[in-house]
């Protein structure tokens, strides 16, 4: 969607983006605090998550959660919140005609929660249900276990369930007071935002009744470590295996490097005709395979994952090894690079079709490092990727030799050890 972006810095220390979309019929709000699990002790890990569940409930204006939600949603508006290792984000979306009403209600919910004991107990039960549901996701269990082994600040859902009873309502009140300060607040608001609306929103954000505090919390400096042995989670209830292969470098990539790695990642697994997934599908080895790029405060990674029958896994790994070696040896064709650029350009043009989609395109990076990506320069960045840049960043990621294999299934530890040995040449080239 056609839009313009302006950054706003307020006297209370909060900062954010106004994304003006002239043709928008809805308004999207995201209010972010650096308030995730890394800021609490391990035995109180579920405190931020429980706080997020309770906060958009009873408040000084409407002292009952269901009544507040009824008022919030009466014209079809939507609200939600999410908690991660680093952040909590409160979000809302509403029709254009009630943007000011919803903005005011969101500010009240964030700044005037009552944290009632009965609502805490109800949400405690809901969070237990949520964690139990998540724990049935084998990919999630494997991913969290693997990242914990690399040294990141994560716990599995089973571990979180074992610790949740340690959290009492006073813990969430303490965490709220510690983290919900205006200098720790960032926001992205997108929709039809002419000058007068921006003035009203600035006033609402500036006058939110929260203490100013001492600034934005720093992100943790997590340094991934190489795994001496693969991670194996035995699960006798499944016939196939779930796996992840993850490799890291202990620095953040530049934008040029990130663009280049994303392009080769598209070529590897993103489509049914891609180098790894396409070849594996052609041989009937795997239904689907994924790969992706990740970055934390001071590290970058490239991962590959799938679920596959054990009898097919060795051949699938051989395809993965062969195609990555082709990259390291500069054996990728200009034709393939051109095709990948066309795919990336088309995906870029699809990504901003909605107001919320446009907002999310800016929010993730802005909340993480307060950088504003120039959406309209992305086609230029895609076009600027070269074969040399692809080869250089791909080799650099593997050169640091910080990697690991994780497998969940009923295949036995020797099977997993053999597959790790099979992968070793990728880090010895």
**Domain membership flag for residue 105:** yes
- 414 and 284 together in one domain: yes
Give the pLDDT of residue 58: 96
**Is the pLDDT confidence value at 354 over 80?**
yes
Banded model confidence at residue 348, pLDDT cuts 50, 70, 90: confident
Judgement on whether residues 60 and 190 belong to the same structural domain of the protein = yes
* Order of strands across the sheet that contains 231-234: 231-234, 402-409, 241-249, 300-308, 289-295
Banded model confidence at residue 271, pLDDT cuts 50, 70, 90: confident
Q: Are residues 185 and 302 in the same domain?
A: no
User: For residue 351, what pLDDT is reported?
Assistant: 79
Please give the pLDDT value at position 350. 82
* Over residues 361-386, mean pLDDT: 95
Q: What is the mean pLDDT of residues 140-145?
A: 97
How confident is residue 399, by pLDDT bands cut at 50, 70 and 90?
Answer: very high
Say yes or no to pLDDT of 170 above 80.
Answer: yes
Locate 159 and state its tokens: 């571990």
Q: How far apart are CA 404 and CA 104, in angstroms?
A: 48
Look at residues 206, 221, 241 and tell me which one is the last residue of a structural domain: 206
Both 273 and 396 in one domain: the answer is yes
* Percent of the residues in the chain that have a pLDDT greater than 70, as a whole number: 100
> Is the confidence at residue 352, as pLDDT, over 90?
no
For residue 361, what are the domain limits?
Answer: 231-427
What pLDDT does residue 366 have? Answer: 97
- Residue 61 within a domain: yes
pLDDT of residue 65 exceeding 80, the answer is yes
Extract the tokens encoding 347: 């995906």
Does one domain contain both 104 and 200? yes
> Does residue 193 contact residue 141 with C-beta atoms inside 8 Å?
no
Query: What pLDDT was estimated at residue 68?
Result: 97
3-state helix, strand, coil in the chain (%, to 5): 50, 20, 30
Q: Distance between CA 368 and CA 208 in Å, rounded?
A: 22
Domain final position from 189, 206, 223: 206
Q: Are residues 200 and 238 in the same domain?
A: no
Indicate whether 127 pLDDT > 90: yes
Q: At a CB cut-off of 8 Å and minimum separation 6, what does 71 contact? A: 62, 105
- Quick check: 429 pLDDT over 90? no
Residue 252 shares a structural domain with residue 147: no
pLDDT of residue 32: 98
In this structure, is residue 101 part of a structural domain? yes
Q: What is the pLDDT of residue 268?
A: 95
Average pLDDT of 386-393? Answer: 97
Residue that is last in its domain, among 158, 189, 206: 206
Q: What is the 3-state secondary structure (H, E, C) of 58-71?
A: CECCCCCHHHHHHH
Angle between helices 47-55 and 117-134 in degrees, nearest 10? 120
Measured CA to CA, the distance from residue 314 to residue 139 in angstroms comes to: 20
Mean pLDDT of the chain: 96
Residue 395 near residue 328, CB atoms below 8 Å: yes
Instruction: Specify the pLDDT at position 219.
Output: 95
Both 184 and 68 in one domain: the answer is: yes
Whether 405 has a pLDDT exceeding 90, the answer reads: yes
The confidence score (pLDDT) of residue 105 equals 98
Q: Which of 200-204, 240-244, 342-346 is predicted with the least confidence, judged by mean pLDDT?
A: 342-346
As a dihedral over the C-alpha atoms of residue 119, residue 122, residue 125, residue 127, rounded to 10 degrees, the angle is -40
In whole angstroms, what is the distance from residue 377 CA to residue 375 CA? 6
Phi, psi of 374 (to 5 degrees): -85, 100
Mean pLDDT of 167-178: 98
203-251 pLDDT, tens per residue?
Answer: 999 999 999 999 999 999 999 999 999 999 999 999 999 999 999 999 9
Q: What is the pLDDT of residue 168?
A: 98
Please choose, from the candidates 369, 363, 365, 373, the residue with its C-alpha nearest in 3D space to the C-alpha of residue 89.
Answer: 363
Domain assignment present for residue 363? The answer is yes
Sign of the alpha-carbon torsion through 259, 262, 268, 269: negative
| 117 occurs within a structural domain | yes
Structure tokens at 428: 């010895």
Same domain, 28 and 80: yes
Q: 353: pLDDT confidence band, cut at 50, 70 and 90?
A: confident
What is the number of domains present in the chain? 2
CA distance linking residue 35 with residue 279, whole number of Å: 43
The pLDDT of 120-136, averaged and rounded, is 97
Q: Is residue 258 part of a domain?
A: yes
The answer to whether residue 76 sits within a structural domain is yes
Instruction: Report yes or no on 216 lying in a domain.
Output: no
Separation CA 310–CA 412 (nearest Å): 11
CATH number, position 132 = 3.30.830.10
Claim to verify: residue 177 and residue 72 sit in the same structural domain:
yes
Residue 252, number of CB atoms within 10 A of its CB: 14
Region 365-373: what's the mean pLDDT? 95
Q: What are phi and psi of 323, to 5 degrees?
A: -70, -35
Q: Is residue 255 located within the same domain as residue 137?
A: no
pLDDT at 383: 96
pLDDT at 1 over 90: no
- Reference 188, options 81, 32, 84; nearest CA is 32
């Amino acid at each position: 969607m056609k839009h313009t972006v302006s950054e706003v810095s307020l006297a209370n220390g909060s900062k954010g983006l106004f994304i003006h979309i002239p043709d928008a019929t809805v308004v999207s709000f995201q209010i972010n605090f650096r308030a995730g699990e890394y800021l609490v002790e391990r035995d109180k890990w579920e405190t931020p998550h429980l706080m997020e569940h309770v906060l958009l409930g009873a408040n000084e204006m409407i002292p009952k959660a269901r009544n507040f939600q009824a008022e919030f949603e009466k014209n079809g508006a939507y609200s939600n919140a999410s908690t991660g290792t680093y952040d909590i984000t409160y979000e809302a979306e509403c029709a254009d005609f009630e943007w000011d009403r919803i903005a005011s209600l969101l500010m009240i919910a964030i700044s005037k929660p009552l944290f009632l004991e009965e609502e805490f107990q109800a949400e405690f039960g809901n969070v237990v249900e949520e964690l139990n549901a998540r724990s049935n996701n084998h990919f999630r269990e494997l991913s969290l276990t693997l990242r914990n082994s690399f040294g990141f600040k994560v716990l599995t859902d089973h571990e979180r369930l074992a610790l949740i009873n340690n959290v009492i309502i006073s813990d969430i009140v303490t965490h709220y007071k510690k983290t919900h300060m205006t200098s720790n607040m960032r926001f992205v608001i997108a929709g039809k935002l002419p000058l007068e609306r921006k003035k009203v929103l600035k006033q609402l954000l500036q006058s939110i009744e929260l203490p100013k505090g001492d600034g934005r919390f720093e992100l943790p400096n997590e340094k991934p470590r190489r795994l001496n042995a693969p991670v194996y989670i035995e699960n006798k209830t499944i016939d196939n295996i779930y796996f992840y292969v993850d490799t890291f470098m202990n620095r953040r990539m530049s934008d040029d490097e990130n663009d280049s790695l994303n392009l080769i990642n598209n070529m590897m697994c993103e489509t049914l005709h891609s180098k790894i997934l396409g070849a594996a599908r052609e041989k009937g080895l795997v239904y689907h395979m994924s790969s992706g790029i990740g970055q934390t405060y001071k590290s970058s990674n490239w991962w590959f994952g799938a679920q596959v029958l054990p009898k097919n896994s060795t051949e699938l790994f051989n395809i993965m090894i062969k195609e990555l070696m082709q990259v390291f040896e500069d054996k990728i064709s200009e034709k393939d690079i051109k095709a990948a650029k066309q795919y990336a350009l088309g995906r870029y043009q699809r990504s901003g079709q909605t107001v919320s989609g446009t907002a999310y395109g800016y929010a993730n990076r802005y909340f993480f490092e307060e950088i504003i990506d120039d959406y309209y320069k992305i086609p230029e960045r895609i076009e600027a990727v070269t074969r040399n840049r692809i080869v250089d960043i791909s080799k650099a990621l593997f050169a640091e030799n910080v990697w690991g294999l994780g497998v969940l299934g009923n295949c036995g530890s020797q099977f997993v050890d053999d597959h790790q040995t099979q992968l070793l040449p990728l880090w010895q080239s």
